[in-house]
Chain A
Amino acid sequence: MEFEAVIGLEIHVELNCTTKMFCDCPNRPGDEPNANTCPICLWFPGAIPRFSREALEKASLLCLGLGAELQPKSAFDQKVYYYPDLPKGFQLSQAHLPLSRGGGIEITDESGKPKKLRIHHIHMEEDVAKLVHEMEGRLPISLVDFNRAGSPLVEIVTEPDFRSPYEAMEFLKALRTQVRSVGSSECSMDNGTMRVDANISIRPRGTDQMNTKVEVKNMNSVRHVGDAIAYEIIRQGAAVQAGEAVVLHTRLWDPEKKVTLPMRAKFEGPCVPDPAVPVIELSPEWIEKMRSRLPEMPAVKAERLVKQHGVTGEEAAFLSSDAEVASYFEELVGQGVAPRTAMHWLITQLAPAVRERKLELCSSPVTPERLAVLLKMLSNNEINANAAREVLTHMFDSDDSAEAIVTARGFRQVSDTATLDTLIDKVLNEQPAAVADLRSGQGKAMGFLIGQVMQASGGKANPKMIRELLSKKLI
Chain B
Amino acid sequence: MDSIFIYRNPENADGNGPLKGLKVAIQLNISAAGWPAEAGSNALVNFKALEDATIVQRLRKAGAYICGSTRMSEFGFGLQGSSAGQALRQKEADAELVLDLMGESRLAAQRARVCGFKPSYGLISRLGLIGLIPSMECCGVLSGSLKNIRAILKAVAGPDELDFSLPDEATPDFSPQKIDPEKTTIGLITEALAELPAGHEKMFRAAVGKLKKAGFSLRDLSLPDFPLFSLVHKIVGSVEASSCAGRYDSVRYGRRAAGAKNWNDMYLLSRGAAFGLLLKGYLMQGAFFQFERYDAYEDACRIRARLLDDMQRLTSQVDFLVFPMADHESDGAPASIADTYAQFTSTIFASVTGQPALYLPPISGSAHTGLQLAGPRLSDGRLLALGEHILNTRRGGK
Taking Cβ atoms with an 8 Å cutoff, the residues of A that contact B are 39, 43-51, 78, 80, 82-84, 87-90, 269-278
Q: Which residues from chain B contact A84 at a C-beta distance below 8 Å?
A: 251, 263
Q: Which residues from chain B contact A271 at a C-beta distance below 8 Å?
A: 243
In the complex, A89→B263 CA distance in Å? 13
Q: Which residues from chain A contact B245 at a C-beta distance below 8 Å?
A: 89
Question: Do A48 and B290 form a contact, CB below 8 Å, given A82-B246, A87-B252?
Answer: no
Interface SS of chain B? loop
Q: Which of A39, A89, A274, A276 contacts B249 (CB 8 A)?
A: A89
Evaluate contact between A276 and B134: CB separation under 8 angstroms: yes
Name the interface residues of B96-140: CB closer than 8 Å to any CB of A.
126-130, 134-135
In the complex, A276→B130 CA distance in Å? 12
Evaluate contact between A278 and B243: CB separation under 8 angstroms: no
Evaluate contact between B130 and A46: CB separation under 8 angstroms: yes
Evaluate contact between A270 and B126: CB separation under 8 angstroms: no
Evaluate contact between B47 and A87: CB separation under 8 angstroms: no
Question: Do A272 and B263 form a contact, CB below 8 Å, given A45-B130, A50-B162, A89-B249?
Answer: no
Q: Which residues from chain B contact A80 at a C-beta distance below 8 Å?
A: 243, 246, 290
Chain A interface: which of B48-56, B176-184, B187-195? B48-56
The smallest beta-carbon distance between A32 and chain B, in angstroms, is 20
Is B165 positioned at the interface, with any CB of A under 8 Å from its CB?
yes
Question: Do A89 and B127 form a contact, CB below 8 Å, given A80-B290, A270-B290, A276-B134?
Answer: no
In the complex, A88→B251 CA distance in Å? 10
In the complex, A444→B128 CA distance in Å? 88
* Complex A-B, nearest 5 residue pairs according to Cβ-Cβ distance, in ascending order: A89-B246, A275-B135, A269-B291, A272-B243, A88-B247
The smallest beta-carbon distance between A52 and chain B, in angstroms, is 10
Q: Which of B47, B239, B267 contacts A45 (CB 8 A)?
A: B47
Q: Which residues from chain B contact A49 at a C-beta distance below 8 Å?
A: 164
Evaluate contact between A90 and B165: CB separation under 8 angstroms: no
Evaluate contact between B164 and A44: CB separation under 8 angstroms: no
Evaluate contact between A45 and B127: CB separation under 8 angstroms: no
In the complex, A95→B128 CA distance in Å? 26
Q: Which residues from chain A contact B128 at a C-beta distance below 8 Å?
A: 46
Evaluate contact between A43 and B135: CB separation under 8 angstroms: no
B231-272 interface code vs A (CB 8 A; 1 in, 0 out): 000000001100111111101100000000001100100000
Is B37 positioned at the interface, with any CB of A under 8 Å from its CB?
yes
Q: Which residues from chain A contact B37 at a C-beta distance below 8 Å?
A: 45-46
The smallest beta-carbon distance between A55 and chain B, in angstroms, is 13
Evaluate contact between A48 and B165: CB separation under 8 angstroms: yes
List the A residue with the shortest CB-CB distance to B47.
Answer: A45
Pairs A–B under 8 Å by Cβ, sample size 16: A45-B47, A45-B248, A46-B130, A48-B164, A50-B164, A78-B246, A80-B243, A82-B267, A87-B247, A88-B247, A90-B247, A269-B294, A272-B243, A273-B135, A275-B165, A278-B164
Q: Which residues from chain B contact A43 at a C-beta distance below 8 Å?
A: 247
In the complex, A80→B243 CA distance in Å? 7
Is B309 positioned at the interface, with any CB of A under 8 Å from its CB?
no
In the complex, A162→B226 CA distance in Å? 53
Q: Which residues from chain B contact A44 at a C-beta distance below 8 Å?
A: 50
- Which of A44, A78, A84, A277 has the most B CB atoms < 10 Å from its CB? A44
In the complex, A272→B290 CA distance in Å? 8
List the B residue with the shortest CB-CB distance to A43.
Answer: B247
List the B residue with the shortest CB-CB distance to A88.
Answer: B247
The smallest beta-carbon distance between A141 and chain B, in angstroms, is 13
Question: Do A82 and B249 form a contact, CB below 8 Å, given A270-B290, A272-B240?
Answer: yes
Residues of B in contact (CB 8 Å), total 38
List the A residue with the shortest CB-CB distance to B160.
Answer: A48
Evaluate contact between A46 and B240: CB separation under 8 angstroms: no
Q: Which residues from chain A contact B134 at a C-beta distance below 8 Å?
A: 274-276
B285-310 interface code vs A (CB 8 A; 1 in, 0 out): 00000110010010000000000000
If A272-B297, A273-B135, A277-B164 are given as contacts, then 4 extra A-B residue pairs at C-beta distance below 8 Å, sorted by A number, are: A50-B163, A88-B247, A90-B243, A276-B134
Is B44 positioned at the interface, with any CB of A under 8 Å from its CB?
yes
Q: Which residues from chain A contact B47 at a C-beta distance below 8 Å?
A: 45
The smallest beta-carbon distance between B289 and chain A, in angstroms, is 10
List the B residue with the shortest CB-CB distance to A45.
Answer: B130
List the B residue with the shortest CB-CB distance to A82.
Answer: B267
Q: Which of A48, A83, A88, A90 contacts B163 (CB 8 A)?
A: A48
In the complex, A84→B256 CA distance in Å? 13
Evaluate contact between B291 and A270: CB separation under 8 angstroms: yes
Taking Cβ atoms with an 8 Å cutoff, the residues of B that contact A are 31, 37, 39, 44, 47, 49-51, 53, 126-130, 134-135, 162-165, 239-240, 243-249, 251-252, 263-264, 267, 290-291, 294, 297
In the complex, A90→B264 CA distance in Å? 15
Evaluate contact between B243 and A45: CB separation under 8 angstroms: no
In the complex, A46→B125 CA distance in Å? 11
In the complex, A39→B33 CA distance in Å? 12
In the complex, A87→B247 CA distance in Å? 6
Q: Which of B50, B246, B267 contacts A88 (CB 8 A)?
A: B246
The smallest beta-carbon distance between A392 and chain B, in angstroms, is 55
Evaluate contact between A270 and B129: CB separation under 8 angstroms: no
In the complex, A270→B264 CA distance in Å? 20
Q: Which residues from chain A contact B126 at a C-beta distance below 8 Å?
A: 48, 276
Q: Which residues from chain A contact B246 at a C-beta distance below 8 Å?
A: 78, 80, 82, 88-90
In the complex, A271→B294 CA distance in Å? 9
Q: Which residues from chain A contact B249 at a C-beta distance below 8 Å?
A: 82, 87, 89
The smallest beta-carbon distance between B139 and chain A, in angstroms, is 12
Evaluate contact between B247 and A45: CB separation under 8 angstroms: yes
In the complex, A90→B134 CA distance in Å? 14
Q: Which residues from chain B contact A274 at a C-beta distance below 8 Å?
A: 134
In the complex, A51→B249 CA distance in Å? 25
In the complex, A47→B53 CA distance in Å? 9
Question: Do A272 and B239 form a contact, CB below 8 Å, given A46-B49, A80-B246?
Answer: yes
The smallest beta-carbon distance between B298 and chain A, in angstroms, is 9
In the complex, A45→B164 CA distance in Å? 17
Q: Which residues from chain A contact B163 at a C-beta distance below 8 Å?
A: 48, 50
In the complex, A275→B290 CA distance in Å? 16
List the A residue with the shortest CB-CB distance to B245.
Answer: A89
The smallest beta-carbon distance between A95 and chain B, in angstroms, is 11
Q: Which residues from chain A contact B264 at a C-beta distance below 8 Å?
A: 82
In the complex, A278→B164 CA distance in Å? 7
List the B residue with the shortest CB-CB distance to A268.
Answer: B291
In the complex, A412→B130 CA distance in Å? 80
Evaluate contact between A89 and B247: CB separation under 8 angstroms: yes
List the B residue with the shortest CB-CB distance to A90.
Answer: B246
In the complex, A219→B297 CA distance in Å? 37
Evaluate contact between A78 and B243: CB separation under 8 angstroms: yes
In the complex, A269→B244 CA distance in Å? 14
In the complex, A262→B247 CA distance in Å? 29
Question: Do A39 and B247 form a contact, CB below 8 Å, given A45-B44, A272-B290?
Answer: no
Q: Which of B164, B239, B263 contacts A51 (CB 8 A)?
A: B164
- Which of B135, B165, B263 has the most A CB atoms < 10 Å from its CB? B165
In the complex, A50→B127 CA distance in Å? 11
In the complex, A89→B31 CA distance in Å? 21
Q: Which residues from chain A contact B127 at a C-beta distance below 8 Å?
A: 46-48
List the A residue with the shortest CB-CB distance to B271.
Answer: A82
Q: Which residues from chain A contact B129 at a C-beta distance below 8 Å?
A: 46
The smallest beta-carbon distance between A411 and chain B, in angstroms, is 65
In the complex, A69→B51 CA distance in Å? 41
The smallest beta-carbon distance between B313 and chain A, in angstroms, is 23
The smallest beta-carbon distance between B253 and chain A, in angstroms, is 8
List the A residue with the shortest CB-CB distance to B38.
Answer: A45
The smallest beta-carbon distance between A249 and chain B, in angstroms, is 17
Q: Which residues from chain B contact A39 at a C-beta distance below 8 Å?
A: 50-51
Q: Which residues from chain B contact A83 at a C-beta distance below 8 Å?
A: 263
The smallest beta-carbon distance between A76 and chain B, in angstroms, is 11
The smallest beta-carbon distance between B224 and chain A, in angstroms, is 28
